[in-house]
Amino acid sequence: MEGCDSMSDEIKQLPKLWTGDHYNEGIGRDDIFDKLREECGVFGVFNVPNACSLGYYGLHALQHRGEESAGMATVESATGKFSYHRNMGLVKEVFDQATLECLPGDRVIGHVRYSTAGESRLANAQPLLFKYRDGDLGVATNGNIVNAPSIRKELESQGSIFQTTSDTEVIAHLIARSNKDFVSAAKDALQRIIGGFAFLIMTNDKLLVASDPHGLRPLVMGRMGDGYVFASETCALDTVGAIYERDVQPGELLILDKDGLRVDRFERLERRATCAMEYIYFARPDSDINGINLHSARKRMGRQLALEAFIDADIVTGVPDSSISAAIGYAEQTGIPYELGLIKNKYTGRTFIQPSQELREKGVKMKLSAVRKVVEGKRVIMIDDSIVRGTTSLRIVNLLREAGATEVHVYITSPPFKNPCYYGINTPDRKELIASQKSVEEIRLAINADSLYFLSNEGFIEAVGGNDGKFNRGMCMACFDNDYPTPVDPNSEKSCSC
């Protein structure tokens, strides 16, 4: 992770605007991020009374997947009545007791999201809600539709109007324009779109759950009494007390209605290709993906690093929060003690006033600090999850040096990040990806490290799979190896549609 620059992800004017529905294409923020960001998390409940309460806690558990807006739509199965509420802000800011009381029903679809550049728009907050021929339609998505621009163009040329810049709106149009019954229309629509996505689609009488044909974005199913719970990560199932049942399979379409659950497919499973960055950085360490616990996987990445490239040093430290597990693994493997060389201030958040340039030069450091007593006079191994532009890594290395570290060795728990993502990760242009432009030695110089090592592709796969040997490839590692599981248009917009 490139955590230090996340300092910059606070835009001070933002909170003011957040209370409304604001749209100004000119506010770009790409340039101040040096951080990969998961774009969304989804959560759904079918057939559990007071579903919105579960939604509240479930979305809260997925908050790390999207801090900028939150929303829920509920349906009362007895009446088919829709209710919804969404807003900019954290789950706990968007919902309060009074709001939850306005969301009756035993079905819910919920969503948390980051906004992409220029679009801190309430209108884009999900679930998106539509009125169409057959009634109400709610959609919550995690991921990105690669061919959305061309479908959108086609729809516009046929007279469609769009109220959001979200590609998710495309799927609603495709369904509404079909002459078939709802489920068939949805299958047709899912077949037309290409990309990586997890969909929750709710109508007055049905809930549809779908994962893209490669399973790029995680999506799991749990049971709760007679009901079902769906979530981007298992941690949300644990939080609400649901029992994990299985991961939703690539190309699957689950249909839930008064007759219960029916498992269908809109596409045969091709190659499974779960996003590698979910294992490395995005998902919470207490979540499991495809049955693999992420804290354990990350510890194995740290151990694997030690096996591939041991270096003698006094202490091992991890960049918080994402690289703590890996750092502990490295320490366990090598016997070099794990120490708290870097610490994050947990109170920093959206409304925090960032230090001025002058104060920064004076040494005012907020989110992340190096602990002098721990690192002074020490040779430090610093474990991090990835390097995007390199600016954040440089900043952290320098923090450690200013605090007295005599050597700083940077060990990265993933291969070099060279290629942009088209499936829902907010990545900069290829030319800004330092690993795409420079050799490892050049990067080492750029980040002022004494040594730099990236985990090998094979070592990474081995570490994710763990010692049970059962895990074969099954990952999208296009950002490392340029092998995209779907056709992509290099000229198209990257990032996500949710």
Applying CB under 8 A, the span of 162-170, 197-205, 441-449, 451-459 interacting with a second copy comes to 162-170
Structure tokens at 387: 């390097």
Site for a second copy in 90-109 (CB under 8 A): 90-100, 102-104
Q: How far is the CB of 452 from a second copy (least distance, A)?
A: 25
Instruction: Using alpha carbons, select from 139, 113, 294, 143 the residue that is nearest to residue 216.
Output: 143
Between the alpha carbon of residue 98 and those of residues 104, 224, 241, 498, the distances in Å are 11, 25, 24, 27
- At 184, phi and psi to the nearest 5? -65, -40
Q: Pick the closer one to a second copy by CB: 326 or 394.
A: 326
Site for a second copy in 210-239 (CB under 8 A): 224, 235, 238-239
- At 386, phi and psi to the nearest 5? -165, 165
The answer to whether the bond into 127 is cis (omega within 30° of 0) is: yes
Instruction: Using alpha carbons, select from 275, 271, 332 the residue that is nearest to residue 299.
Output: 332
> Judged by CB under 8 A, does residue 32 bind a second copy?
no
Q: How far apart are CA 423 and CA 446, in angstroms?
A: 29
Q: How far apart are CA 69 and CA 87, in angstroms?
A: 6
Structure tokens at 59: 């979305």
Q: Pick the closer one to a second copy by CB: 173 or 444.
A: 173
> Judged by CB under 8 A, does residue 455 bind a second copy?
no
> Judged by CB under 8 A, does residue 357 bind a second copy?
no
Q: Pick the closer one to a second copy by CB: 293 or 456.
A: 293
Q: Does residue 86 contact residue 127 with C-beta atoms inside 8 Å?
A: yes
- Residue where the block lists tokens 């729809």: 155
Q: How far apart are CA 254 and CA 264, in angstroms?
A: 6
Instruction: Using alpha carbons, select from 73, 91, 94 the residue that is nearest to residue 83.
Output: 73
Q: Pick the closer one to a second copy by CB: 162 or 471.
A: 162
> Judged by CB under 8 A, does residue 22 bind a second copy?
yes
Between the alpha carbon of residue 465 and those of residues 261, 263, 470, the distances in Å are 31, 28, 7
Site for a second copy in 269-288 (CB under 8 A): 284-286, 288
Q: How far apart are CA 38 and CA 426, in angstroms?
A: 7
Q: How far is the CB of 496 from a second copy (least distance, A)?
A: 18
Catalytic residue list contains 40: yes
Site for a second copy in 50-69 (CB under 8 A): 53-54, 56-57, 60-61, 63-64
Residue from 184, 191, 345, 492 touching a second copy (CB under 8 A): that is: 345
Site for a second copy in 239-268 (CB under 8 A): 239-242
> Judged by CB under 8 A, does residue 436 bind a second copy?
no
Site for a second copy in 176-205 (CB under 8 A): 176-178
Structure tokens at 252: 């699957």
> Judged by CB under 8 A, does residue 339 bind a second copy?
yes
Residue from 8, 204, 249, 369 touching a second copy (CB under 8 A): that is: 369
- Letters for 468-497 (x = contact with a second copy by CB under 8 A, - = none) are ------------------------------
Catalytic residue selected from 40, 52, 476, 498: 40
Name every residue whose Cβ is closer than 8 Å to that of residue 397 and which is 6 or more positions away in sequence: 382, 408, 410, 447, 448, 449
Among positive and negative, which fits the CA dihedral 286, 342, 336, 445? positive
> Judged by CB under 8 A, does residue 87 bind a second copy?
yes
Applying CB under 8 A, the span of 80-88, 188-196, 257-265, 408-416 interacting with a second copy comes to 80-88
- Letters for 281-320 (x = contact with a second copy by CB under 8 A, - = none) are ---xxx-x----x-xx--x---------------------
Applying CB under 8 A, the span of 37-45, 264-272, 367-375, 382-390 interacting with a second copy comes to 367-375
Residues designated as active site: 40
